[in-house]
Structure formats: C-alpha cells, structure tokens
Amino acid sequence: MCGEVLFREDIEWTNTWWEHANDLTCSRILMIGDSVTRGIRPRLHALVKPRYVVDLFATSLQVTDPLLEKEFDFHFSIKEYSCDRVIIQEGGQHGFDRKCSEDPLYYERFQENYINLIARVEKFCRNIIFLSSTATVLPESLTELNRKRNEEIQARNKIVKDVADIKGYQYVNIYSLTETCKHIDQIHMDSGSYEKIALEIAKIL
C-alpha cells in the first residue's frame, strides 16, 4: 500500500453524480470512469431520458491503487440507487508513471486489477458495457495526436477489450472516433465531440 501511494498524482479526486436523486423509481445507467466520462455523461443523459437517467462515478485513481477498491465499495454500498446498466471507461487517462505498453509485469497487474474491479461491479449490476479510452493530443498542438501517450492508451484499451471478452460483455471502441475530435486540452474534447460519443453509446442502449 505504501509503495502504491508514491504513484498517486499530486491531487486525487472522486466525483459522484446522482441524477434525479429524489426519485427512486428511475431506471438508471451508471457511468464509471474519469473526467472524460464526466464529459460524456450529460450528453448521454439528454439522449436516453426519460427511459433512463444517467449517474456517474468518476475518479482519477489508478486501476492498481487499493484506494480505488475502497471508493468502489463505498459507492456501491448506497443501495437505494440500483442501476439497470453500467458503462465503464476506467483506467485509461491516469497513472502514466508506469506503462502497460513497456512493462509486461505491469500489463499483467493492470489486467488482474481490472478483472477484480469488474467483479466488484458485478455484485451490483451484471449488465455491463465496456467503453474504450479516448485519444489524446499534444498539449502544445491540440490538432496533433500524442502518439507516445496514445500508445499506452491503446495498450490499456486492449486489456479492457480482453477482459470484456473474458467476461462475455460488450466492448465499444470509440478510440478511432476521438482521433479526429476537437480537443480543448491534451485529454478533454469540446461539447460536440462528447455529443458524438454519446450518440455512439446511445445506439446500443
């Protein structure tokens, strides 16, 4: 545990969003991910309401950090907000001090931890859609892909797809779609790009 703390970012955060929190009759989709997922959530909610409302559990914590498991367990302990579906986009954009694309041992550890996280989700909901992480651009040139960083993101996306296949869940690859999206910084996209992603997800709901 102490060793893992050294790999945390300077600031770690967790963000939970309960849509229509005072209505327990809603059919709910829970999106799990990071700040990119947080950007997608309101667009998806607008597309699928009133059939569903879309909730959020987003965090900067790495897949291999034990603190993430504790945050998961706390979130899922709130039993009044059950959900019909989970869309997970976890682990792609944070924790680049260690790379699955360069370290086979860390690749295996990342995959093992991802499987364990999915097992935690399955205790809460067994209707899960896996969503790839998105492409990034250079901070100094927002129209140019960050090839080095994207190499790592694609390695992690392969793990996510493999886990989806192992578990028998659907995997939605939006990576190539976001290679041509308009970015507002290295990681995040403009509202129109999030709208395109939400439309892709809505097609399969």
Q: Is 59 left (phi over 0), alpha (psi -120 to 50) or beta?
A: beta
* pLDDT on residue 1: 54
Number of domains in the chain: 1
Neighbours of 3 (CB within 10 A): 6
* pLDDT on residue 3: 79
Q: b or e along 119-154 (b: 16 or more beta carbons within 10 Å of the residue's beta carbon)?
A: eebeebbeebbbbbbbbbbeeeeeeebbeebbebbb
Check if the beta carbon of residue 194 is closer than 8 Å to that of residue 40: yes
Q: Which residues of 112-168 form beta strands (DSSP E)?
A: 128-131, 137-138, 141-145
Cis before 66? omega within 30:
no
With a cut of 70, list the residues of the chain below it in pLDDT: 1-2
At 57, give phi and psi (nearest 5°): -125, 105
CATH of the domain at 83: 3.40.50.1110
Distance between alpha carbon 116 and the CA centroid of its chain, in Å? 15
How far is the C-alpha of 205 from the C-alpha of 202, rounded, in Å? 5
* pLDDT on residue 119: 95
Domain span at 182: 2-202
Beta bridge partners of 17: 56
Supply 99's token pair.
């790379």
| End-to-end Cα, the chain, rounded Å | 38
